[in-house]
């Protein structure tokens, strides 16, 4: 039985943040040291990002507010609302993103109706409320009130993989299952001005967005490209527990993004891939570059640089990840689904159509997935013969370079 990701759609808020404009605002905040001002400029300029999206409508230079909460546009001051205030925006605006992405994914799945959905799996780490986004989606899309709901909270950037792995498990257990998976993040809710290098780097990278997928093993014809969900693996690196974390503070959530994160990934990425690739005998002995597609979570430009160099991948194989970073920034758990969407949207090739995907998060956790890009014609039979093995089931001063490594400098 082959479990297929039948549709994958994305959604972003309306407000666009242009990276040079945001950089200038952050660099002009009162209380910054000269070192922090230089770090702001270097972090934003080296991020590999041109535009990002935010659900915080105040975070723009084009509008004004008589009673600003997040950003005083007249004074160009970044304000410090409480965690409660930020979370209230998450509950309102995050719900909209969850529902929009879910509706688009359902509309894009031929042969699947709202009444067919048996499970809803949501993932997010940028806010909390109950009844949560899983409940809101069921109500908004008029799903069966008996649909099974699961929310994966506060995992961080890798959460899309546990969500998809859960969907696959549900479909493996029940061939009639149809699972709606949604990852949505409002990272921009938690931006703040600070002299702390971790906070500055986070402010240069994070953004808002959502992605949703329909997953099922039902034998329904496809009318476009889809993904066979072949294998998933999880690896915890032996070091890095303190290098990447996501904590709750009084004025929003606080990112810990240690300077050594890209080096940890560089040192342990090969070992993290071994259990995944061992699941498919057809990949034994192949160079990494011989796997056609690589969907890497673009946590930052330097992480993509490390992955490309360590695995000997071509620049073309990292284009979907780099373009996602450039156009959308780091949207935490939703980001790798944007990368997979970019691969699905590419013209069909005559290559092997295998996809190796990776995401990194607190712990340091490395989640990996092996997938196969399939088309509308004989989709299920193609997936079954794709090699899946059933029995293996700006110039930066030297003193700033270590601080900037995780931002891509």
Label residue 263 by pLDDT band (50, 70, 90): confident
For range 98-112, the mean pLDDT: 97
pLDDT higher than threshold 50 for residue 402: no
Contacts of 272 (CB under 8 A, 6+ apart): 233, 235, 237, 358, 366, 368
pLDDT score at 311 = 97
Distance CA 143, CA 164 (A): 20
For range 228-246, the mean pLDDT: 89
Average of per-residue pLDDT values in the chain: 90
**Partners of 247 in the β-ladder:** 254
Share of the chain above pLDDT 70, in %: 90
Distance CA 71, CA 132 (A): 27
What CATH number matches the domain at 4-216, 3.40.630.30, 3.40.718.10, 3.40.47.10, 3.40.50.150?
3.40.47.10
For range 249-266, the mean pLDDT: 84
Q: Do domains 4-216 and 226-377 have the same CATH topology?
A: yes
pLDDT higher than threshold 80 for residue 398: no
Distance CA 329, CA 335 (A): 8
CA angle 244, 249, 253 (to 5 degrees): 55
Cβ atoms of 50 and 207 within 8 Å: the answer is: no
Label residue 40 by pLDDT band (50, 70, 90): very high
pLDDT higher than threshold 60 for residue 103: yes
pLDDT score at 351 = 67
Query: Among 140-154, 256-270, 328-342, whose mean pLDDT is lowest?
Result: 256-270
Task: Report the sign of the C-alpha dihedral through residues 142, 147, 153, 155, in that order.
Answer: negative
Of 164 and 266, the one with more pLDDT? 164
pLDDT score at 91 = 98
pLDDT higher than threshold 90 for residue 122: yes
Burial of 362 (0-12, 13-18, 19+ CB in 10 A): buried
Distance CA 176, CA 215 (A): 11
Residue 66, number of CB atoms within 10 A of its CB = 5
Q: Is 187 a catalytic residue?
A: no
Residue tagged active-site, from 157, 171, 187, 356: 157
pLDDT score at 175 = 95
Helix, strand, coil shares, percent, the chain, to 5: 40, 25, 35
Domain boundaries, the chain: 4-216, 226-377
pLDDT score at 114 = 98
Task: List the CATH code of the domain at 226-377.
Answer: 3.40.47.10
pLDDT score at 258 = 67
Cβ atoms of 15 and 57 within 8 Å: the answer is: yes
pLDDT higher than threshold 50 for residue 309: yes
Torsion of CA 370, 363, 9, 116, to 10 degrees: 80
Which of 79-83, 261-265, 349-353, 400-404 is most confident?
79-83
Cα of 357 vs its chain's centroid, Å: 11
For range 340-352, the mean pLDDT: 86
SS3 219: coil
pLDDT higher than threshold 90 for residue 384: no
pLDDT score at 245 = 81
How many CA atoms, within 13 angstroms, populate the side-chain half-sphere of residue 258?
Answer: 16
pLDDT score at 376 = 56
pLDDT score at 240 = 76
Distance CA 232, CA 370 (A): 6
pLDDT score at 404 = 47
For range 165-184, the mean pLDDT: 98
Cis status of the peptide bond prior to 375, with omega within 30 of 0 = no
């Amino acid at each position: 039985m082959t479990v297929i990701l039948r549709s994958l759609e994305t959604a972003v808020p309306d407000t666009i943040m242009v990276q040079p404009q945001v950089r200038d605002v952050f660099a002009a905040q009162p209380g910054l040291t000269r070192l922090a001002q230089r770090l702001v400029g270097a972090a934003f300029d080296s991020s590999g990002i041109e535009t990002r999206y935010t659900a915080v409508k105040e975070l723009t230079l084009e509008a004004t507010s008589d009673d600003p909460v997040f950003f005083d546009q007249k004074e160009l001051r970044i304000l410090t609302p409480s965690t409660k205030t930020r979370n209230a925006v998450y509950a309102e605006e995050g719900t909209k993103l969850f529902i929009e992405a879910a509706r688009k994914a359902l509309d894009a799945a031929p042969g699947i109706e709202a009444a067919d959905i048996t499970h809803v799996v949501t993932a997010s780490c940028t806010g909390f409320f109950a009844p949560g986004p899983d409940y809101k989606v069921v109500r908004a899309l008029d799903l069966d009130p008996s649909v099974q709901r699961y929310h994966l909270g506060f995992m961080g950037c890798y959460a899309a993989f546990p969500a998809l792995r859960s969907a696959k498990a549900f479909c493996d257990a029940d061939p009639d299952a149809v699972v709606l998976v949604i990852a949505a993040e409002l990272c921009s809710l938690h931006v703040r001005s600070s002299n702390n290098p971790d906070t500055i780097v986070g402010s240069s990278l994070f953004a808002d967005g959502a992605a949703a997928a329909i997953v099922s093993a039902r034998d329904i014809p496809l009318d476009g490209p889809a993904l066979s969900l072949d294998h998933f693996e999880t690896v915890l690196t032996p070091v890095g527990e303190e290098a990447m974390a996501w904590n709750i503070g009084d004025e929003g959530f606080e990112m810990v993004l240690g300077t050594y994160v890209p080096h940890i990934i560089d040192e342990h990425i090969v070992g993290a891939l071994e259990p995944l690739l061992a699941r498919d005998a057809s990949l034994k002995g192949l160079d990494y570059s011989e796997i056609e597609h690589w969907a890497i979570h673009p946590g930052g430009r330097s992480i993509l640089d490390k992955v490309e160099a360590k695995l000997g991948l071509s620049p073309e194989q990292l284009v979907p990840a780099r373009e996602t970073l450039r156009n959308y920034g780091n949207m935490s758990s939703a980001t790798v689904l944007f990368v997979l969407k970019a691969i699905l949207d590419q013209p069909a090739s005559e290559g092997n159509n295998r996809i190796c995907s990776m995401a990194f998060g607190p712990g340091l956790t490395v989640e990996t997935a092996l997938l196969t890009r399939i088309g509308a014609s004989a989709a299920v039979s193609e997936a079954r013969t794709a090699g899946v093995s059933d029995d293996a089931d700006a110039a930066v001063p030297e003193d700033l370079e270590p601080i900037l490594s995780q931002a891509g400098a």
